[in-house]
A and B are shown apart, each in its own frame.
Chain A
Amino acid sequence: EPEVTQTPSHQVTQMGQEVILRCVPISNHLYFYWYRQILGQKVEFLVSFYNNEISEKSEIFDDQFSVERPDGSNFTLKIRSTKLEDSAMYFCASLAGGLYQETQYFGPGTRLLVL
């Protein structure tokens, strides 16, 4: 069964460094998402992406964050200058779109630790 994949599974970085989290959505899906989950807290929406542009973003998704679909398969989340509070599990999700195809499928996550 097709699945969303994410790399790396774990990343440790120093505060102020840039990180890029990578996702490969399911191949025929059209909508892409990033969520994060700080340890012990709710899963929170960051951004959605459709037709090569951001369609919705949360207040968390400030100027330090950006997303890109550099080719036909990858979907990336970049954090320009990491802060301690960016430590979280980051989940990518994708959705096929269309009638009766509205389930968001999530990847296994990237655990980011900012020191």
Chain B
Amino acid sequence: KQEVTQIPAALSVPEGENLVLNCSFTDSAIYNLQWFRQDPGKGLTSLLLIQSSQREQTSGRLNASLDKSSGRSTLYIAASQPGDSATYLCAVKGFGNEKLTFGTGTRLTIIP
């Protein structure tokens, strides 16, 4: 059974710093991995999707990497801003099934 873990559970950094969020998964046979942002009491906003054949994806100040063999993904946020404060979730999709398996998330606070 796939297990997805995100460490740390919470992170506070001053505005302007670069930061890395971590995601690990136990079964490396994944089809893709998706990073989401969740604001308090709100839905999930997709940030980046990495296919299993890819090593990284970039969107603006965000860069996500994938090391499938070691079961790890990172989300790099450059030049953090207070508006980046949210919970960040990673989710993996396995082969032959439809569902996403989510991690518990990292609650990020950017201090102005």
Q: Which residues of B contact A44 (CB under 8 A)?
A: 102
Please give me the residue from chain B that is nearest to A44 by CB atom. B102
Interface string of A23-60 (1 = CB under 8 A from B): 00000000101010000011111001010000110100
> Using an 8 Å CB-CB cutoff, how does the interface string of B59-80 with A read, 1 for contact, 0 for none?
0000000000000000000000
B97 to chain A, nearest CB (A): 6
Q: Point out which of A33, A103, A107 has the most chain B C-beta atoms below 10 A from its C-beta.
A: A103
**0/1 string, B31-64, CB within 8 A of A gives 1:** 0101010000111111001010000000000000
Known: A103-B34, A103-B49. A31 touches B98 (CB 8 A): yes
Would you call A65 an interface residue if the criterion is a C-beta within 8 Å of the partner chain's C-beta atoms?
no
For B32, give its contact among A56, A102, A107 (CB under 8 Å): A102
In the complex, how many residues of chain B place their beta carbon closer than 8 angstroms to a beta carbon of chain A? 23
Determine whether the beta carbon of A33 is less than 8 Å from that of B98. Answer: yes
In the bound complex, how far is the Cα of B100 from the Cα of A102, in angstroms?
11
Residue of A nearest to B46 (CB): A103
A residues near B28, Cβ cutoff 8 Å: none
Q: Which bracket fits the contact residues of A? A: 20 to 34
Total number of residue pairs linking A and B with CB closer than 8 Å: 51
Q: For the complex, would chain B's binding face be called helix, strand, loop or mixed by DSSP majority? A: strand
Chain A residues whose C-beta falls within 8 Å of the C-beta of B81 in the assembled complex: none
Is there contact, CB below 8 Å, between B43 and A43? no
Residues of B participating in the A interface, judged by any CB pair closer than 8 Å:
32, 34, 36, 41-46, 49, 51, 89, 91, 93, 97-105
Q: Can you sample 14 A-B contacts with CB below 8 Å?
A: A31-B98, A33-B99, A42-B104, A43-B44, A43-B89, A43-B102, A45-B101, A56-B98, A91-B44, A102-B51, A104-B46, A105-B46, A107-B43, A111-B41
Interface residues of A (CB under 8 A from B): 31, 33, 35, 41-45, 48, 50, 55-56, 58, 91, 93, 102-109, 111
Enumerate the 8 nearest inter-chain pairs by beta-carbon distance, A residue then B residue, closest first.
Answer: A48-B98, A45-B99, A108-B43, A106-B44, A43-B102, A56-B98, A106-B43, A103-B49
